[in-house]
Chains A and B, each alone.
Chain A
Amino acid sequence: MSKTYYDPADLRKFGKITEWSEELGNKFFEYYGKVFEEGALTAREKSLIALAVSHTEQCPYCIDAYTKDGLQRGITKEEMMEALHVGAAIKSGATLVHGVQMMNKVNKLDG
């Protein structure tokens, strides 16, 4: 057994998930490919969104994949970091906006 939960080499094996459920696996990859095609958003914009979400989801495979994808598209490290801050802002905002709930509760119980 591997001594770590994550092995970078496992990313290359992602496609193998179809082996245990071919139809669903294929449908997922077809959908996935379609999502990242150029549409109303450019493939470059989608790559930056994916990078930010990879971090908020804390998925190491996705972080490796979309950092590399960004470099391939000529995205600069400054652009990448700004995208991450968008993710981080939403994450921290999502925490802090619940502060209103806390305040409501305090006011109700102890107002």
Chain B
Amino acid sequence: MTKLKTQSLQKKGSDLAQSNRQLEILSNGIFKNGELPTFKDKISETSQFPLKAKKLEILQINVGYMCNQVCEHCHVDAGPDRKEIMTRETMRQCLEVIKNSGAHTLDLTGGAPEMNPDFRWFVEEAAKVGIKDFIVRSNLTIIRANKKYYDLPEFFKKHNIHVVSSMPHWTRGKTDKQRGDGVFDKSIKALQELNAVGYGMPDSNLRLDLVYNPSGAFLPGDQTSMEKDFKKALKEDFDIQFHNLFAITNLPIARFLDYLVASENYEDYMYALVEAYNPAAVANVMCTNTLSISWDGYLFDCDFNQMLELPVNSKAKHVSEFNEALLVGRNIVISQHCYGCTAGAGSSCQGVVA
């Protein structure tokens, strides 16, 4: 039995459930008094402001904020108490976009996307379009959460889904601390089941990648070294195999921002992000080739901007108004959270970028 860590900030009525309160924190204090440069000033140093959207390559669709877990650092503030769920009607509009856009990758996320009642219908319809890389971000435990999800590995296989799953560490203690008691054991079981149908095996086309994000107020280490350590430990301890590890930096928003402030780590963390700033990563940040669609069909530069309710700077603001020509070349909406994607080797939903 998994034990939930907590409730969502929204359910708790926390001040930081409000995106404008989060944006205030990110704009005030050390960024207002000039102790640290704002992200705009920083990218201006290398003439990279304004950041412009390039050709659309990745469509990331958030099908709802409901989740069976309440992870400590969730940037979505997801949980069982979140009721925002994409309707089939909005999914139909998304399908039109998938058909008409030039994007080569479709990336479904949540919450736990599988908890959307129309998830399977949507996957079946979207798979018919024949997109090159069809990703589902699965939290793994959902596969073991209820009988109705037990066949997900087979379902993913049938539609050649690229499974990307979170795994904060190869040890039980660190994983459960971040994601809830019992999460580690369920995740291991789910990974073994995915392996059993062919996912993650060295010569398999069934892609299984893991996402690592730090369990506390520190940046991720080198992605290649971490991948080596994860592979060795998971193979030796549980006979589990996977393809790649994506090391993702925690962005200072939502529950992670709440944690940083409450633990008095906020300033040190922002210093660490700014000190690790890498202009080479700016050139490849994911917002320049990605479009994020929210559960209610609105368009954002990335999933983080979606959570901060910072809509795209374009006349086309909703999936019903989608127009690739209008969106290409748009100015990306930025704030200080963007430092999370430009630290060190950079960070994106596909791991490092530089």
Contact = CB atoms under 8 A, between A and B. Distances in A.
Interface of A: 12, 42-44, 68, 71-74, 76
Contacts of A12: 271, 275
B160 to A, nearest CB: 31
Contacts of B229: 44, 74
The listed residue with most B CB atoms (<10 A of its CB), out of A44, A68, A72, A74, is A74
Nearest to B233: A74
Nearest to B173: A76
B139 to A, nearest CB: 20
Given A12-B271, A71-B216, A76 B221 contact: no
Nearest to B267: A9
A3 to B, nearest CB: 19
A44 B222 CA distance: 11
Contact of B218 (A43, A44, A68, A76): A68
Contacts of A74: 169-170, 212, 221, 226, 229-230
A64 to B, nearest CB: 10
B257 to A, nearest CB: 19
A73 B174 CA distance: 13
A44 B171 contact: no
29 contacts: A12-B271, A12-B275, A42-B225, A43-B222, A43-B225, A44-B225, A44-B229, A68-B218, A71-B215, A71-B216, A71-B218, A72-B214, A72-B218, A72-B219, A72-B220, A72-B221, A73-B221, A73-B222, A73-B225, A73-B226, A74-B170, A74-B212, A74-B221, A74-B226, A74-B229, A74-B230, A76-B171, A76-B173, A76-B174
Contacts of B271: 12
The listed residue with most A CB atoms (<10 A of its CB), out of B215, B229, B230, B275, is B229
A71 B275 contact: no
Nearest to B170: A74
Interface string B136-180: 000000000000000000000000000000000111011000000
Contacts of B221: 72-74
Contacts of B222: 43, 73
Contacts of A76: 169, 171, 173-174
Contacts of B218: 68, 71-72
B316 to A, nearest CB: 40
A43 B226 CA distance: 12
Nearest to A47: B221
A43 B169 CA distance: 19
Nearest to B344: A72
Query: Can you list the 8 inter-chain pairs with the closest CB atoms, starting with the nearest?
Result: A72-B221, A73-B221, A71-B218, A72-B218, A68-B218, A74-B229, A74-B226, A72-B219
The listed residue with most B CB atoms (<10 A of its CB), out of A12, A68, A72, A73, is A72
Nearest to A72: B221
A73 B222 CA distance: 7
B245 to A, nearest CB: 10
